[in-house]
Amino acid sequence: MSVMTLNQTTTTTKPQIHIKRVYKHDINKLWTALTTKAALSNWLMQTTDFELREGQIFQFRAKPQGGWDGIVHCKVLSFSQPNSITYSWQANGMKKPTIVTWELKELAKNETLLTLSHAGFEGFGGWFTRQILNFGWKSMLRKKLTKHLLQ
């Protein structure tokens, strides 16, 4: 199950990506997947310098594509084992780092709710997204997206 919304928060009008998903796995197992170098390199992107330590600067690397050089510059901002980790996320083309937050909540034994937020889109991306939302394209594009996801 997964729920996705492109939010326009009322207080800041800044858009953010917000995805919730339930995993039939133990919370500690998810925590390990989210916070160890080997696991992250396996499912997210290659990282050689990730450490679970506040202030740790690290990079994700992937194959460059479509104007993206394949590198994401990150810094661990905070974490609370085994419930949340927040790091900055800056790819080329982003004027300011964006913020990625992973949250875990144990619903039952071997049932964990994961919430992923990607926020802080400033300047370009943010301005653009706001414009798109203002144009009233939100519902139209969401329909398109839903259709795409169902394909």
Partner 1 sequence: MRRDPWQALADPTRRQIIEVLNKAPQSVNTIAENFKISRPAISKQLKILEASALITIEKQGRERICTLALAPLEEVYKWVRQYELFWLDKLDDLEAHLKEQE
Instruction: Return residues touching partner 1 (CB under 8 A).
Output: 2, 4, 6, 17, 19, 21, 23, 25, 29-30, 33, 39, 42-44, 66, 93, 114, 116, 118, 124-125, 127-129, 131-132, 134-135, 137, 141, 145, 148-149
Q: Phi, psi (5° rounding) for residue 141?
A: -70, -30
Whole-number minimum distance, CB 76 to partner 1, in Å? 18
For residue 52, give both structure tokens.
């679970």
Whole-angstrom Cα distance, residue 134 to residue 67?
26
Query: How many whole angstroms from its chain centre is CA 60?
Result: 13
Whole-number minimum distance, CB 30 to partner 1, in Å? 7
* Residues in contact with 39: Cβ distance below 8 Å, sequence separation at least 6, in sequence order: 32, 33
74 vs 114 by CB, closer to partner 1: 114
Whole-number minimum distance, CB 71 to partner 1, in Å? 15
Q: Is the preceding omega at residue 82 within 30 degrees of 0, hence cis? A: yes
54 vs 110 by CB, closer to partner 1: 110
Whole-number minimum distance, CB 109 to partner 1, in Å? 15
